Amino acid sequence: MPTIIKNMLIKLMRNAAGRYSQEARLSKAKSPADPLLMFTDWFALARKIDPERYNAMTLATAAPTAAPSARMVLLKDFDARGFVFFTNYASRKAQELSANPQAALVFWWKEIYRQVRIEGRIEKLDQATSDAYFHSRARGSQLGAWASRQSTVLTNRAELKGHLARYRDKFKGRDVPRPPFWGGFRLIPTTIDFWQGRQDRLHDRLRYSLEDSGEWHLERLSP
Ligand SMILES: Cc1cc2nc3c(=O)[nH]c(=O)nc-3n(C[C@H](O)[C@H](O)[C@H](O)COP(=O)(O)O)c2cc1C
């Protein structure tokens, strides 16, 4: 689709979303028993409005000292098992997650004035799932994953480009394998908090918490 038409469509969607968010409200009585249904719905609307970056989320982790750190990552998959993202297993976030496998995710979709906060336990994806995703990526991103020793200090940008050139040569004429130091994590949620902005800061907030029985408990929170 030509960029000019795509941008016009996105603008139309955003205007519609602006009107939508003025009127949107969360009803506890009408909310589904399973927060995944609500998330699926919100995510689909966010995707229509910002097809480029709707899946960007903040990932917060904490070191064993309890010092927190946060950064953006992309949500690449979700289902009843949890929320999946990919990264370098030697990165700062991955080191924090292996020492303390708990994390929080935050989505902020400004056009629809919505936030979603998800907290839970982290597990590493199995190798076959990481392989499948890695092989679905563009070759440039695959080589980039090999070239970047994420979170470590570079002397200069030329050093990074040097790593890239080496891997480009190494894998010339063949498929790029997944680096052993790169793959996915899944966050298995224990709470999901949906926030709908409303006028005068009287926002709506509904929080789902997972009970020992496996059922979700739903409460309205003060904004
Ligand atoms: C919009 C956006 C999306 C990003 N997506 C990812 C991602 O999916 N995986 C990743 O490892 N880094 C991603 N990054 C880079 C991270 O924010 C971060 O700089 C990097 O992962 C190193 O983080 P760490 O040193 O805390 O481990 C993204 C950055 C932005 C701004």
pLDDT digits (tens, 9 = 90+) for 154-194: 999 999 999 999 999 999 999 999 999 999 999 999 999 99
What's the pLDDT at 93?
98
Non-local CB neighbours of 166 within 8 Å, separated by 6+ positions? 147
Which residue's structure tokens are 């908090």? 193
The domain 32-138+179-220: what is its CATH number? 2.30.110.10
Q: What is the DSSP string of 63-94?
A: -TT--EEEEEEE--EEETTEEEEEEETTSHHH
What's the pLDDT at 4?
80
What's the pLDDT at 20?
56
Cβ-contact 197, 22 below 8 angstroms: no
Task: Point out the ligand 1 atom lying closest to the alpha carbon of residue 95.
Answer: 27
For the chain, the domains span 32-138+179-220
Flag whether the pTM goes above 0.85. yes
| pLDDT tens digits along 85-142 | 999 999 999 999 999 999 999 999 999 999 999 999 999 999 999 999 999 999 999 9
Amino acid residing at 173: G
Cβ–ligand 1 distance for 148 under 6 Å, the answer no
Cβ–ligand 1 distance for 208 under 6 Å, the answer no
State which of 54, 69, 73 you would mutate to test the pocket of ligand 1, scoring each by most atoms of that ligand within 8 A of its C-beta. 73
Confidence band for 23, pLDDT divided at 50, 70 and 90: confident
* d(CA 60, ligand 1 centre) in Å: 11
Task: Point out the ligand 1 atom lying closest to the alpha carbon of residue 94.
Answer: 27
Cβ-contact 84, 64 below 8 angstroms: no
Which is higher by pLDDT, 76 or 19? 76
Cβ–ligand 1 distance for 87 under 6 Å, the answer yes
Catalytic residue ranges: 201
Q: Whose CA is nearest to atom 10 of ligand 1?
A: 87
What's the pLDDT at 19?
55
- Structure-block tokens of residue 82: 């949890």
Cβ–ligand 1 distance for 106 under 6 Å, the answer no
Q: Whose CA is nearest to atom 6 of ligand 1?
A: 73
Q: Is 142 exposed, middle or buried (0-12, 13-18, 19+ CB in 10 A)?
A: buried
Confidence band for 13, pLDDT divided at 50, 70 and 90: low
**pLDDT > 90 in the chain, percent:** 88
State the average pLDDT for the chain.
94
* d(CA 72, ligand 1 centre) in Å: 5
What's the pLDDT at 15?
64
Task: Point out the ligand 1 atom lying closest to the alpha carbon of residue 92.
Answer: 27
